[in-house]
């Protein structure tokens, strides 16, 4: 959102002769800083060298002035969690004190502070979490680190200031501060952004005024757990992702796939109105913060761009109005099946050949799914015992098949898709669970508590520069029905072969300590490519996103391996689940400009 000045090698990832605007995290991490503000909390970043910014802000008066504008004496208790059955207001990293957000910081007696910043700028270049005297407790980190990192690992850049606003006036003060100091701004919702383009959440308000009319207006800090809890009280359901701690803003602005997408549409399809603050200058060059309403009737071009253009780009979001859909007749049904096997070279014990054959049956099954069914199969390969044994039978795989059905368990379609999945496995699964729920929130409460905790490495790994050999957080591709039918199986075979080859010829660039390229894959059919799914237009998402049947996330491939396999399945990838070293990223996110 902000200007990197001057535009030089310090912004080499996104700057060029025609473009001197850098996104959050784009500037060279060795020579830039960031700060955060929010209603969907945000990051303020600058391109000048650290010592330059430090000299400009060394005198605390400007920061203290901002802090006073944020009403620092008002308690900020919005992220404190009172445990189940109450919805989580923010993600909770594994190991956090008392299971509270921000590594326990959210449970401070007076709540979060209005503002955090690094008094010693050199601290920005050090990892937040380190082992001290054999201790692995999270509270070895400073409060600033806890506020800044939230849940994403330290990836070579770190915020300088973190701000927690409570209202529109606070956000305007933070935007004015950023403009006066020529700091870039990137907003964030919950930290579910895998490339560290943001890092902190915020509380949000629930406005019940529109509930009877078939739409809910949510404050920008809301996460899906809160939204589902509110919706259940009105016997409604809102479009959401699979994870309850994902925030509303990034999901809906990035496109938004999830368990209700095949029947209700993507996140962008359910977004009716956006309230946003933007910063500019008046005729005298003075900083001006102004509010806009974006909808089909107000600022329609901005509304088109925001629905699919991605989060943290257009301004600081204050609120969103979302469609409130009726719960399907019969409620919401869930099926979970589990099957595991080995890499034994024949078909015994669900060996490697059986696994390869299974993907052909799986593909045919996927192509028959209708708009009532959404899926998130997870496929894991565990080669950890191979180094010790040298036996392929010690390499194991597990497939977790999780499916949602918009309707009751007595529906003919439900019985058909459940039983045909057993045919794909050619056996009764090792684990089978079936449930029916009256609301999405009721379903959420049945999940194991650790499903909503965030596994973060401690101590955090050293920062690493982007490269084609690096493993991005997620290499994703959106797959059309045609590609699913003709190319998916052969591509999966190639990906399995990559894993197989690294068992004998280790890849030193792999994040796996043994040099393997195996790991896990998610195969989401939670889009609008199912038979009969709605596919409305009028949004900025790519054509490949709109018509995709499957989203494949492969989290262990290098960029080059993805280019050679995964990305050949389709020209588009998902903005919100992607690799930060992707080539030709603008076309992959939004299609070619015509």
Q: How does pLDDT run across 549-592, given as a tens digit for each residue?
A: 999 998 888 888 889 999 999 999 998 888 877 888 899 999 88
Q: Is 387 helix (H, G, I), strand (E, B) or coil?
A: helix
Residue 271 pLDDT exceeds 90? yes
Return the domain boundaries, the chain.
9-187, 206-326, 332-437+464-590
What is the predicted pLDDT for the residue at 181? 75
Inter-residue contact 201 to 75 (CB < 8 Å):
no
- Domain covering 332-437+464-590, topology: Vanillyl-alcohol Oxidase; Chain A, domain 3 (3.40.462)
Range 404-419 average pLDDT: 92
**Which position has the higher pLDDT, 593 or 273?**
273
Q: How does pLDDT run across 63-120, given as a tens digit for each residue?
A: 888 999 999 999 888 888 888 778 877 777 766 777 788 778 878 888 889 888 877 7
Residues whose CB falls within 8 Å of the CB of residue 425, separated by 6 or more in sequence, listed in order: 337, 339, 358
What is the predicted pLDDT for the residue at 94? 67
Q: What is the arrangement of strands in the sheet containing 115-117, beginning at the earlier edge strand?
A: 115-117, 159-163, 33-37, 42-46, 184-187
Range 311-337 average pLDDT: 90
Q: How far apart are CA 103 and CA 201, in angstroms?
A: 13
Q: How many CB atoms lie within 10 A of CB 580?
A: 18
pTM: 0.75
**Is 287 exposed, middle or buried (CB count within 10 Å of its CB: 0-12, 13-18, 19+)?**
middle
Which percentage of the chain shows pLDDT scores above 70?
Answer: 74
Inter-residue contact 106 to 190 (CB < 8 Å):
no
Residue 7 pLDDT exceeds 70? no
Q: How far apart are CA 307 and CA 171, in angstroms?
A: 22
Strand ranges inside 246-372, DSSP E? 271-281, 287-294, 316-323, 325-326, 332-342
DSSP character at residue 193: -
What is the predicted pLDDT for the residue at 63? 85
DSSP character at residue 532: T
Distances (CA, A) of 72 to 80, 110, 115, 166, 170: 17, 11, 8, 10, 11
Report cis status (omega within 30 of 0) of the bond before 459. Answer: yes
Residue 530 pLDDT exceeds 90? yes
Nearest to 242 by CA among 522, 475, 467, 11: 522
The DSSP line for 35-87 is: EEETTTTEEEEE-S-HHHHHHHH-STHHHHHHHHHT-TTS-B-TT----TTSP
Q: Between helices 352-367 and 412-425, what is the axis angle to 10°?
A: 160
Q: How far apart are CA 298 and CA 245, in angstroms?
A: 30
Inter-residue contact 41 to 223 (CB < 8 Å):
no
Kindly report which listed range (139-153, 235-249, 383-397) carries the lowest average pLDDT score. 139-153
Q: How far apart are CA 20 and CA 242, in angstroms?
A: 37
Which percentage of the chain shows pLDDT scores above 90?
Answer: 37
Residues whose CB falls within 8 Å of the CB of residue 1, separated by 6 or more in sequence, listed in order: 23, 24, 184, 185, 186, 187, 279, 312, 313, 314, 315
Q: How does pLDDT run across 166-216, given as a tens digit for each residue?
A: 888 898 888 888 878 776 665 666 666 655 555 333 322 333 333 335 789
Token pair, residue 422, equals: 């057993």
Nearest to 161 by CA among 310, 320, 53: 53
Enumerate the H helices of 190-254 as residue ranges.
224-233, 248-254
Residue 21 pLDDT exceeds 80? no
Range 290-298 average pLDDT: 92
Q: How far apart are CA 40 and CA 423, in angstroms?
A: 45
Q: Which of 118-127, 453-462, 499-508 has the highest mean pLDDT?
A: 499-508
Nearest to 200 by CA among 40, 63, 72: 40
* Architecture of the domain whose range is 206-326: 2-Layer Sandwich (3.30)
Residues whose CB falls within 8 Å of the CB of residue 489, separated by 6 or more in sequence, listed in order: 359, 360, 363
Nearest to 328 by CA among 263, 254, 374, 277: 263
The phi, psi pair for 542, rounded to 5°, reads: -70, 155
What is the predicted pLDDT for the residue at 200? 31
Residues whose CB falls within 8 Å of the CB of residue 366, separated by 6 or more in sequence, listed in order: 375, 484, 525, 549, 550
Distances (CA, A) of 143 to 71, 113, 124, 150, 584: 19, 10, 13, 11, 38
Q: Is 117 helix (H, G, I), strand (E, B) or coil?
A: strand
Range 485-492 average pLDDT: 96
Inter-residue contact 94 to 143 (CB < 8 Å):
no
What residues form DSSP beta bridges with 289? 279
Q: How many CB atoms lie within 10 A of CB 493?
A: 12
Q: Is 216 helix (H, G, I), strand (E, B) or coil?
A: strand
Report residue 443's pLDDT band, with 50, 70 and 90 as the boundaries: confident
Inter-residue contact 296 to 284 (CB < 8 Å):
no
Q: How does pLDDT run across 22-44, given as a tens digit for each residue?
A: 333 333 332 222 333 333 333 33
What is the predicted pLDDT for the residue at 119? 76
Q: How far apart are the first and last CA of the chain?
A: 24
Report residue 6's pLDDT band, with 50, 70 and 90 as the boundaries: very low
Inter-residue contact 217 to 320 (CB < 8 Å):
yes
Average pLDDT in the chain: 78
Q: How many CB atoms lie within 10 A of CB 15?
A: 20
Range 512-517 average pLDDT: 86
Residue 53 pLDDT exceeds 50? no
Inter-residue contact 351 to 403 (CB < 8 Å):
no
What is the predicted pLDDT for the residue at 3? 31
**Which position has the higher pLDDT, 239 or 8?**
239
Q: Which of 158-162, 171-175, 213-217, 425-429 has the highest mean pLDDT?
A: 171-175
Work out the angle at residue 209's Cα, subtended by the Cα atoms of residues 319 and 229, and round it to the nearest 5 degrees: 75
Q: How far apart are CA 122 and CA 120, in angstroms?
A: 5
Q: How far apart are CA 383 and CA 445, in angstroms?
A: 33
Residue 425 pLDDT exceeds 90? no
Token pair, residue 322, equals: 């979302």
């Amino acid at each position: 959102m902000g200007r990197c000045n001057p535009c030089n090698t310090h912004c080499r990832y996104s700057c060029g002769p025609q473009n001197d605007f850098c996104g959050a995290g784009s500037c060279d991490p060795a020579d830039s800083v960031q700060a955060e503000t929010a209603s969907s909390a945000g990051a303020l970043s600058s391109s000048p060298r650290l010592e330059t910014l430090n000299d400009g802000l060394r005198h605390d008066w400007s920061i203290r002035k901002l802090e006073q504008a944020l009403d620092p004496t008002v308690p900020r208790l919005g992220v404190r969690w009172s445990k189940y059955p109450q919805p989580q207001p923010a993600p909770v990293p594994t190991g956090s004190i008392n299971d509270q957000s921000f590594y326990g910081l959210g449970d401070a007696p007076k709540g979060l502070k209005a503002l955090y910043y690094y008094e010693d700028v050199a601290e920005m270049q050090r990892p937040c979490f380190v082992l001290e005297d054999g201790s692995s407790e999270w509270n070895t980190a400073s409060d600033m680190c806890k506020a800044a990192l939230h849940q994403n690992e330290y990836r070579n850049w770190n915020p300088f200031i973190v701000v927690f606003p409570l209202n529109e006036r606070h956000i305007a003060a933070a935007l004015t501060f950023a403009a006066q100091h020529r700091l870039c701004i990137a907003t964030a919702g919950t930290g579910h952004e895998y490339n560290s383009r943001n890092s902190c959440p915020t509380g949000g308000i629930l406005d019940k005024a529109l509930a009877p009319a078939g739409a809910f207006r949510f404050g920008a800090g809301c996460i899906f757990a809160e939204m589902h809890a509110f919706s259940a009280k009105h016997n409604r359901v809102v479009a959401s992702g699979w994870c309850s701690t994902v925030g509303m803003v990034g999901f809906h602005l990035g496109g938004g796939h999830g368990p209700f997408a095949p029947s209700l549409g993507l996140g962008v399809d359910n977004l009716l109105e956006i309230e946003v603050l933007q910063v500019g200058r008046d005729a005298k060059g003075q900083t001006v913060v102004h509010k806009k309403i974006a909808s089909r009737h107000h600022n329609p071009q901005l509304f088109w761009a925001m629905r699919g253009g991605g989060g943290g780009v257009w301004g600081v979001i204050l609120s969103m109005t979302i469609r409130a859909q009726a719960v399907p007749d019969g409620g919401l049904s869930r099926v979970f099946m589990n099957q595991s096997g080995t890499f034994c070279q024949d078909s015994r014990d669900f060996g490697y050949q059986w696994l390869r054959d299974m993907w052909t049956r799986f593909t045919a099954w996927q192509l028959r799914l209708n708009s009532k069914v959404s899926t998130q199969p997870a496929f894991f390969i565990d080669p950890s015992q191979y180094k010790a044994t040298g036996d392929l039978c010690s390499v194991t795989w597990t497939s977790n098949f999780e499916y949602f059905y918009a309707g009751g368990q007595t529906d003919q379609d439900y019985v058909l898709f459940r039983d045909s999945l057993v045919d794909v496995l050619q056996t009764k699964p090792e684990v089978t669970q079936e449930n029916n729920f009256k609301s999405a929130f009721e379903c959420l409460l049945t999940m194991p508590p650790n499903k909503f905790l965030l596994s973060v490495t401690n101590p955090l790994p050293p920062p690493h520069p982007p490269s084609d050999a690096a493993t991005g957080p997620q290499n994703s591709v959106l797959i059309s029905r045609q590609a699913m039918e003709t190319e998916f199986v052969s591509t999966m075979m190639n990906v399995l072969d990559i894993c197989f080859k690294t068992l004998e010829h280790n890849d030193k660039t792999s994040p796996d300590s043994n040099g393997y390229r195996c790991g896990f894959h998610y195969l989401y059919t939670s889009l609008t490519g199912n038979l009969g799914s709605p596919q409305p237009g009028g949004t900025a998402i790519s054509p490949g996103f709109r018509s995709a049947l499957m989203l494949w996330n492969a989290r262990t491939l290098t960029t080059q391996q993805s280019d050679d396999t995964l990305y050949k399945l389709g020209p588009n990838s998902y903005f919100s689940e992607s690799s930060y070293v992707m080539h030709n990223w603008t076309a992959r996110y939004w299609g070619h400009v015509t």
